[in-house]
Amino acid sequence: MMIKAIIFDLDGTIVDTELYWSEAMYNYLVDQDCNCTKQGILEIVFGRSWSDIYDDISSRFSMTAKISSHEMALRLSEYHRTLCRKDDHIVIESSVTLLKELAELYPVIVVSGSPRQDVIENLQLAGVNDIVRFILGAEDYAPGKPDPTGFLKGARMLDVKPNRCLVFEDSQAGVTAAKAAGMHCVALARENAYKQNVDHADLIVADLADFDINTFTAAPNVLDGNAGECF
């Protein structure tokens, strides 16, 4: 089996911002006088695309129903940026190092459920915006993860068959989307991250510094689609 393209998720995989999106949404809803809990919002937000999150939020909280997806995304981004400004360590350095190494061998794209502008800003923060071939944000495909549409669109734009793509994800929804697309998938399950069931990934690692592309492509049990153990 030969890998011909690499697809990275963003939040929780390249930058440690996934929980900040949940906290930003919670703070935004509280300011809108919505009755919600942090755990409830976390379950709505984590690993899902913005379009699906918006649909869920606007249907559950009537006071947000008249706010457009674009307007809510703009408001939420301000809450999110405020939280991120307080953290000097949101870039996951080992993930960025791997992305740069793989970009020397393969075309690399990012398929994220976050709004496109937020993806751009975070890739700039990570210093990889110039080496990522292109990005697909929440506005660029629907439905979102766990549906495979975003990953399949990325493969088509690269003119690469799905089974020649390798995806790096951190969420249950993302891994499900990658496998539904017929792609190989490595799940990043960091020790202090919000726990997700990613057992259906081909390989699970606690840090992408532990990943080696040559070892992965040479392992028959991985290529047969069996989940690997966490390094």
Give the pLDDT of the chain (231 residues) as one tens digit per residue. Answer: 589 999 999 999 999 887 788 899 999 999 999 999 999 998 898 878 788 889 999 999 988 988 998 899 889 888 888 887 766 678 999 999 999 999 999 999 999 988 898 899 899 989 999 999 999 998 999 998 999 999 999 999 999 999 999 999 999 999 999 999 999 999 999 988 788 899 999 999 999 999 999 999 987 655 554 444 443
Task: Supply the pTM of this predicted model.
Answer: 0.83
Q: What's the rounded Cα separation, in Å, for the pair 150 and 137? A: 9
Q: What are phi and psi of 127, to 5 degrees?
A: 75, 30
Q: What pLDDT score was predicted for residue 27?
A: 94
For residue 230, the 8-state DSSP code is: B
Which 3 state secondary structure label does DSSP give 165? strand
Asked if 22 contacts 38 with a C-beta cutoff of 8 angstroms, the reply is yes
pLDDT at residue 88 in the model: 63
Domain 5-16+89-223 has CATH 3.40.50.1000: yes
Sorted by where each begins, the domain ranges of the chain are 5-16+89-223, 18-85
Q: How far apart are CA 148 and CA 131, in angstroms?
A: 24
CA gap 179, 194 in Å, rounded = 21
